Structure 1
Amino acid sequence: MAIVESIVELLLPKLADPILQEAIFLCSVGDQVKWLEAEFKRMQYFLKDADAKQEGDERVKNWVGEVRDVAYDAEDVIDTFLFKVESLRRTGFVGCIKRYACIFNELKPRHEVGSKIERIKAKIRAISESRSTYGIENIGQGAGTSSSGLSLQEWRLTSPLSQETDFVGFEKELEMLVAQLTEGELRRCVVSVVGMGGLGKTTLTKKLYNANTVKKHFHTHAWISVSQEYSARDLLRVFVRRWRVVSDKAAEKLNIAELRDKISEYLNDKRYLVVLDDIWKREAWDALKDAFPDVNNGSRVMLTTRIKDVASYADRRSQPHELRFLTNEESWDLFCKKTFAGQDVGWPQDYLEKLGREIVEKCHGLPLALAVIGGLLSGKEPREWDNVRKSISWQFVEGEVQISSILSLSYKDLPYYLKPCFLYLGNFPEDYEFHANELIGLWAAEGFLKERGELTLEEVGEDYMMQLVQRSMVQLTRRNSSRGIKSCRIHDLLRDLSISEAKESKFLEVRRDNGNAPSASRARRLAIHLNEPKYISLSSSHPHLRSVLIYIQGYASLQKEQSKFLFQGFKLLRVLYLAGVEIRELPKQIGELIHLRYLRCTKTELETLPSSIGNLINLQTLFVQSSNKIGVPETIGKMHQLRHLRLPGNKPQIIMSTGSVIEERHFGVIRWHTRVDLISNLQTLSGVYAGKWMEGCLGKLTNLRKLKIFFKTGAYAQLLSEAIVNLNCLHHLWARMSVPIRIFEGSAKVLPLPNLSHLLKLSKLYWGGKLDTFPEFPTNLTKLTLEWSGLKEDPMATLEKLKSLRILKLLGASYDGVEMACSAQGFPQLESLHLQALCNLKEWRVEEGAMPSLLHLWIGDCKQLKKLPEGLQHVTTLKKLELWWMRDEFNARVREDGGEDWYKIRHIPSIDIQQMIRFEAFGL
């Protein structure tokens, strides 16, 4: 079993840990530990073959389970022993360990670890002997892992990301549903799409939602995923944020009824389309329906659901559309798109097609099954196709297809290193959209990623995500500006599979009922999902936990006793992930979690981190959000394994300075002294204030990939210029003045941009400060944002030559000129252009042939702009135009019914005009 193999892989490096080696030598248990290491290495060899042979053989399955349990036992002994050794080290005892070896030999830990190892050795001997008893001596003589998947490097070279959605079939259904949305009754109708999981309800509805005819018909649109685990208040707040009905702070104070009223008031004079995806209960519809007014203007609400009764209940006068299965030819078409992706396979096509069609027939026209099987077979030889054909067995039960066999087959075919990564997705709530950086950081903390060659852990993680997408085991939802994976989600049927497989292997337990304590399953990971604000129930019945992940929709509080227990009760934690849990302070006991590698706390009111956090010598990721500014203690310099320090948000989070520790407040930020150069593995430094600490420190962070830094003035910009010469790994640079530039006077408001031409990996740049001269940007930039730059010359003349640029944002006061022009052939790759608060801009010209790839144009608060450019009519690639907070005269020119500029934009499917003017405070 690959999960057991990963457990053993995690255990072996611990046995070679230098601290452990020193301690076990002095405890006279070195021979025992060496024996364990050698025996687990031998087991690892057998496990590779057992992974292929355990399916359908209970003897092998039982044997693998016994190996798993003894590996867990060994890990518990080693981690507990390391915890005790490190506790002694912090007291200064282990610093004198050699001098007092005789005393150490008499310590209780020596006797405990020796006795426990002897018990483990006895179990291992019994397991080894049981191979003969079970009649499975031939394990270890096979070819190894069950998967013949491509190597990591091969995936990087041969497997570009496929399209997010391969839409096959349903053309007639699509046409009929478009008519239901745009024609017929004027009353607010509910249009429902009903079908079993995996049938393509969401895919079809997305196609409808983005159709040109539909986009043009409605004034405004919104999409929200409901799922089984929902909070009505949070769903309504999503609508409020989408339409900016009220500010986020105001929305937090409104109850459900008030939120419904605000949304209804906003929609009352608009023809709207709202999609409620994956709705399971009548109660969910009852909680939301009053937010969608019926004013007889042709507005529509769309539902996708597995339950026909829910669809009928939402609108008794509308017939739900029950989605059909794909035909044989449609199934074959989808299967080929997923399997071959336009590649020439180079095999005998007649034989391959015969096998393929037999496999497709067993999928019974279910799109999810076809996509997953297609991903499984991509790149495999005919022999393996035949094995898959023989393995598929499923049946119809009560009118629904049970596809667990197909999904399970695809899971079992994953390479051993991808299986724990896939199972880990069960930690996330239903319909959760997980960011690539977040997930990769968790994988790294769990030990699932290993550096290979010159690739970092993060780069290996990116490849793992790509492989899961290629296999259709996860769904790509958003790309970043470099066309890589930004975020993904997992289909709920595949999520069910991951949870089921994880529970069986004691990998993970998911709790949705807050009232019950965790079971005594010895699961190594516990995920708690809560929908309503409650106190979190925790108990000591899970002493072996390595990860606790808590997701709260809304807020939940930790009482003082619970907080103390959480940070003291689980000594062996590697991951502590608290999303939506209110925390007012981190107790000093957190420093005792010496195995911790990942710490994330959101929704906190922290003002400082305890100095004991420096004891977390294994911590890789520290991610803290707070309503306050956060002070960072100097002890953070002891955390040499730290790779990602994230204190995100648009407000500055911390200031670092040199000299003695001072507690001097500037705009609510606490200054602390620390040596960041001691954290040489750091790849992300987000939320720091510029200061003297940069001198001689920042330039030594040569592994830095992302830097997010705030400047009180431009005084330290030269230190950034000097440091950045050495930061050749930098991918993302984010720098800005901490307050609006109009507050500053004289030269202090200038924030000169350093020379970046040598940064060949830099792809994203945000610069928020006044520029005296227009800089030369790196030619490989894919995303550029300028704010407060105060440029006098038209920036387009320079920026349009950046051939890799895909996203450009010119925000408030970035350009002070009155004219702007985009030349023919300029911006060849630009996909998104954002122009905001260019207060003096009166005329914008776009020549024919400019921006040939533009998909999205956003213009907001440009009060002097008189009209849209003539050349916009030639940008035929445009899919979406948003006009926010423009003058009434400007908006009148773009009206469909007689507007002078309508002919320039009538080809654009989606046009969104927002007339409400809202200003957000800078939070000073």
Structure 2
Amino acid sequence: MDIAVGAVSGMVDALPGKLGELLQQEYALLSGVRGDVTFFQAELSTMHAAVLRSEALDDPDVQTKNWIGQVRELAYDIEDWVDLFAHRVDAGSHDADPATSSRFSRWIRRGIDRLTTIPDRHFIATELQELRQRVVEVSEQRKRYSLGPQVIPAGSRHTAALDPRIISLYTDSASLVGLDGPRGEVAEMLTGAGSDRLKVVSIVGMAGSGKTTLAREVSGLVGAGFKCRASVSAGRSSDIAKVLTDMLSQVDSGYRRRGDTADLTQLIGRLREHFKDKRYLVMIDDLWSIQIWGTIKCCFPENNLGSRIITTTRIEAVAKDGGHVYRTHLLEEADAETLFSRITFGSVGGCPPHLKGVSAQILRKCGGLPLAIVSVGAMLANKTHTKDEFGRYGLEWQANSQLEVMKQVIKLSYSDLPAHLKACLLYLSIFPENHEIEITRLVRRWIAEGFISEHRGTSTEEIARNCINDLIGRNLIQPTQLNHDVTPRSCALHPVIHEFIVCKAMEDNFVALVHAEQQDVPPGNRTVRRLSLLNSGKSDQVVAQIDGTKVSRARSITVFAHTCGTPRLNELSVLRVLDLEGCEGPLCLDGLCKLLLLRYLNLKGTDISQLPAQIGDLKCLETLDVRTTKVKELPLSILSLENLTHLLTGNAKLPTGISKMKSVLTLSCSNVGKSATVNIIQEIGEMASLRELELFCDVTQMPGDKKQVVFQCGGLRSLTKLSIRCSSPSVAFVAGALPKVEVLELKFEKGPSKESSGVSGIEHLSSLKHMPIEFSQHVAGAAAAVAAVRNVAEIAHPNCQVITVNVDQ
């Protein structure tokens, strides 16, 4: 199914509930507005049902695609209207405390507010009428053209998409590359030393990684020892009865000739009867569901004859349910070059000299994925191209119909995702190819965009991280760095997956990807909802001018490398995400404080030196990151950000009164011990909600053995993770301090001075589970300091899961 449905159904599903919440607010709705909102609720619920029916289609017609596109744009605009409503027209009743003000005074206040907001109310009512008219038109259009599930007329010719596994089943073994090692490993897993009990080996990996080919090769290698063999393909839309019928016909030659028909229970019974006294080898290719695999497993009795089953799947959970797991690997550079050269030029080393450079670029884009190398190589084979033509055909895949089989293979993984995961995956198209994406950055952006819905008892951040794990488990994204607890710290997309989702996201207007040198920016006439500006980082580059009218409804702006070409903020009234992390060049924040819906503001690593004094007007802001900037002090108004959850200030000085911020869960700050008037640790210790704290400290100014950083009893009682960055160890924990801290990260530049005793009081951290220690300089005393802390921790906390010690050379 095209992404037009998958990416929008979740949003359309959530809108009726959001409209219902609006009706329950105390805002004084204009006459007729309440009825319009109720109308939207009912109509969008009906649209959602139609969207879900369309989602079941594998190849929707043009009319259905266009209708879904209109629903998507309409849903965006309605949600924008709902989110802006409370900010533009607030009757003011929330400002007065009902317990201390009379009914008459509240009535007078509401009357005054109604009078002063008449222009805004009139404008909102006009907007609402326009939206209602669009809803009616979209609804009538569906009825007028009978949009819905397509029916293919009887007798019409319909060509099914080519299954690439067919090709792999008939590939000459002698032509395979890089398979010797994996073939031997899987064969050893199947036939190695062990009992005669039934064994299942599952081969798992990303789409196109050669799972079917490997399974076929292993089956052929070990098959001589099995007199009863079968090979079947399950597939995503699996007809289990057909799969079992195919299996039975292969092991019982008379089954087809008799013309028997049987239901699922009878098929399972017949297969169990046939296998009960035989040593069998069965290959089940392309499993997508634990439930389907659970049904198929019922066919295989445990007969203690050394029977074996090989399965292939793209999904880790399915593989783990089978037993022994083998994960496929991408081809090494030499093997990839051999395969590409053999397919494209007919022989190893056959690449003409003038094409070597561009061939290397093509191979990098294929990323060692056998399917991509074979598909692109076959397309380029036996064709005479200039260097430019060879590069254009080999690197520009989006509109290339000759690569359709490869695209369909990748699309199967995308199509199997639930709606919310489709949106989460498409969102990664914002980042450049081969970009390493920090997990916390991605999670907070997803939440700010509204992709993650909170469930009772589970935080949105936890749900978002589960989505990350799900996408990793489906082999759609790859973890690149791991935390101390083996959870992913960062992730990346394989170049082929990245190419696919970029194509899909652009096709559906999910993201507009703009390069600075483009002339028409953004291209086409579509309204931009998410803009990714991919600059080169060169200050002298020719910068395309962003059309303000096209990006005025943008929900997120992400800029890479350089700030040139960044749209003016006063044109972005519905912006939720502004991410300029790591950008060089001048940055203008004029209009920032008018972005009433802004939830995520990332200025990390930019040249910004000052935040607007009115930043406290951004009432929706959830994440603020100004680490490694020139900002020296945060404005006092930041204390009024009631929804701020993640405050990452780096070296910027916190204002007095930071303990008043009750919603902050994550804090990154410094200036510990530098202020004579404010004890930062003592003040942040009063932040009852704080869960994670990162402190940047300079301990070189303190004479003698006095500890620069001391954690007393009673503060930070909800803190579960503490990270301390110091020039040298000078940290103490007193008895009763930090009772819930499970993770303590200590990063020092050098070892302790002669006067300092390093880190003390580790034994007082009663909940400690993980303690990574790092020194950036290998100096005298570092190893001894590490040993001392480690010895105390191991004695005091014998149940510690991990204690990682790292002294950099």
Instruction: From the superposition, tell whether residues 115 and 720 of structure 1 become closer, same or farther in structure 2 (CA, over 3 Å).
Output: same
Instruction: From the superposition, tell whether residues 199 and 173 of structure 1 become closer, same or farther in structure 2 (CA, over 3 Å).
Output: farther
Give, in angstroms, the shift of residue 406 of structure 1: 1.6
Identify which of 383, 394, 408 aligns with 1:405: 408
Q: What's 2:41 paired with?
A: 37
1:783 matched to 2:771? The reply is: yes
1:66 matched to 2:45? The reply is: no
Q: What's 2:487 paired with?
A: 484
Instruction: From the superposition, tell whether residues 767 and 27 of structure 1 become closer, same or farther in structure 2 (CA, over 3 Å).
Output: farther
Q: What's 2:352 paired with?
A: none
Give, in angstroms, the shift of residue 797 of structure 1: 3.3
Give, in angstroms, the shift of residue 715 of structure 1: 7.5
Instruction: From the superposition, tell whether residues 440 and 797 of structure 1 become closer, same or farther in structure 2 (CA, over 3 Å).
Output: same
- Does the 8 A contact of 1:50 with 1:60 survive in 2? yes
Instruction: From the superposition, tell whether residues 548 and 733 of structure 1 become closer, same or farther in structure 2 (CA, over 3 Å).
Output: same
- Does the 8 A contact of 1:198 with 1:493 survive in 2? no
Instruction: From the superposition, tell whether residues 588 and 674 of structure 1 become closer, same or farther in structure 2 (CA, over 3 Å).
Output: farther
Q: What's 2:284 paired with?
A: 356
Q: What's 1:573 paired with?
A: 575
Q: Name the aligned partner's letter for residue 783 of structure 1.
A: M
- SS for the counterpart of 1:118 is helix
- Does the 8 A contact of 1:20 with 1:82 survive in 2? no
CA distance in 2, matches of 1:87, 1:514: 47
Q: What's 2:437 paired with?
A: 434
Q: What's 1:708 paired with?
A: 695
CA distance in 2, matches of 1:53, 1:792: 60
Q: What's 1:632 paired with?
A: 634
Q: What's 1:133 paired with?
A: 144
Q: Name the aligned partner's letter for residue 485 of structure 1.
A: P
Give, in angstroms, the shift of residue 442 of structure 1: 0.9
Question: In the TM superposition, what are the counterparts of 1:75-94 in structure 2 within 5 Å?
Answer: 75-79=79-83, 81=85, 84-85=88-89
Give, in angstroms, the shift of residue 620 of structure 1: 1.2
Give, in angstroms, the shift of residue 70 of structure 1: 1.9
Give, in angstroms, the shift of residue 781 of structure 1: 2.3
Give, in angstroms, the shift of residue 478 of structure 1: 2.0
1:124 matched to 2:144? The reply is: no
Give, in angstroms, the shift of residue 751 of structure 1: 3.6
Q: What's 1:798 paired with?
A: 792
Question: In the TM superposition, what are the counterparts of 1:568-647 in structure 2 within 5 Å?
Answer: 568-582=570-584, 587=589, 589-628=591-630, 630-647=632-649
Query: What is the TM-score of this pair, normalised by structure 2?
Result: 0.61
Q: What's 1:49 paired with?
A: 53
Q: Name the aligned partner's letter for residue 693 of structure 2.
A: K
- SS for the counterpart of 1:783 is coil
Give, in angstroms, the shift of residue 692 of structure 1: 3.0
Q: Name the aligned partner's letter for residue 477 of structure 2.
A: V
Q: Name the aligned partner's letter for residue 123 of structure 2.
A: E
Question: In the TM superposition, what are the counterparts of 1:771-850 in structure 2 within 5 Å?
Answer: 771=758, 773-776=760-763, 777-778=765-766, 780-785=768-773, 794-801=788-795, 802=797, 833-835=805-807
CA distance in 2, matches of 1:88, 1:587: 29
- Does the 8 A contact of 1:586 with 1:610 survive in 2? no
Q: What's 2:556 paired with?
A: 547
Q: What's 2:123 paired with?
A: 112
Identify which of 720, 724, 727 aligns with 1:735: 724
- SS for the counterpart of 1:526 is strand
- SS for the counterpart of 2:110 is coil
- Does the 8 A contact of 2:669 with 2:696 survive in 1? yes
CA distance in 2, matches of 1:380, 1:518: 47
Question: In the TM superposition, what are the counterparts of 1:434-473 in structure 2 within 5 Å?
Answer: 434-473=437-476
Cα-to-partner distance string for 1:667-689 (whole Å, 9 max, x where unaligned) = xxxxxx34323322212100233
Query: What is the TM-score of this pair, normalised by structure 1?
Result: 0.54
Q: What's 1:746 paired with?
A: none
Give, in angstroms, the shift of residue 762 of structure 1: 1.3
1:722 matched to 2:714? The reply is: yes
CA distance in 2, matches of 1:118, 1:454: 39
Q: What's 1:98 paired with?
A: 110
- Does the 8 A contact of 1:588 with 1:612 survive in 2? no
- SS for the counterpart of 2:424 is helix
Give, in angstroms, the shift of residue 35 of structure 1: 2.1
Give, in angstroms, the shift of residue 403 of structure 1: 1.2
CA distance in 1, matches of 2:498, 2:589: 35
Q: Name the aligned partner's letter for residue 25 of structure 1.
A: L
Instruction: From the superposition, tell whether residues 28 and 689 of structure 1 become closer, same or farther in structure 2 (CA, over 3 Å).
Output: farther
- Does the 8 A contact of 2:581 with 2:606 survive in 1? no
- SS for the counterpart of 2:121 is helix
Runs of 5+ consecutive residues of structure 1 not aligned to the other structure: 140-167, 176-196, 204-323, 361-369, 382-391, 657-672, 742-749, 807-828, 836-857, 861-924
CA distance in 1, matches of 2:510, 2:599: 18
Instruction: From the superposition, tell whether residues 592 and 624 of structure 1 become closer, same or farther in structure 2 (CA, over 3 Å).
Output: same
Give, in angstroms, the shift of residue 694 of structure 1: 4.7
Q: CA RMSD in A?
A: 4.6
Give, in angstroms, the shift of residue 78 of structure 1: 3.8
CA distance in 1, matches of 2:589, 2:8: 35
- Does the 8 A contact of 1:774 with 1:791 survive in 2? no
Instruction: From the superposition, tell whether residues 34 and 786 of structure 1 become closer, same or farther in structure 2 (CA, over 3 Å).
Output: same
* Number of corresponding residues: 575
CA distance in 2, matches of 1:507, 1:484: 29
CA distance in 1, matches of 2:414, 2:219: 21
CA distance in 1, matches of 2:219, 2:534: 36
- Does the 8 A contact of 1:510 with 1:529 survive in 2? yes
Runs of 5+ consecutive residues of structure 2 not aligned to the other structure: 97-105, 151-175, 184-205, 222-230, 249-267, 269-280, 289-310, 323-370, 382-401, 673-677, 749-755, 776-780
Q: What's 2:657 paired with?
A: 675
Q: Name the aligned partner's letter for residue 98 of structure 1.
A: R
- Does the 8 A contact of 2:54 with 2:60 survive in 1? no
- SS for the counterpart of 2:8 is helix
Give, in angstroms, the shift of residue 700 of structure 1: 2.9
Q: Name the aligned partner's letter for residue 722 of structure 1.
A: G
Worse overlay, 597-606 or 76-85: 76-85
Q: Name the aligned partner's letter for residue 724 of structure 2.
A: A
1:329 matched to 2:332? The reply is: no
CA distance in 1, matches of 2:551, 2:470: 33
Give, in angstroms, the shift of residue 4 of structure 1: 1.4
Q: Name the aligned partner's letter for residue 671 of structure 2.
A: Y
Q: Name the aligned partner's letter for residue 477 of structure 1.
A: T
Instruction: From the superposition, tell whether residues 380 and 533 of structure 1 become closer, same or farther in structure 2 (CA, over 3 Å).
Output: same
Give, in angstroms, the shift of residue 592 of structure 1: 0.8
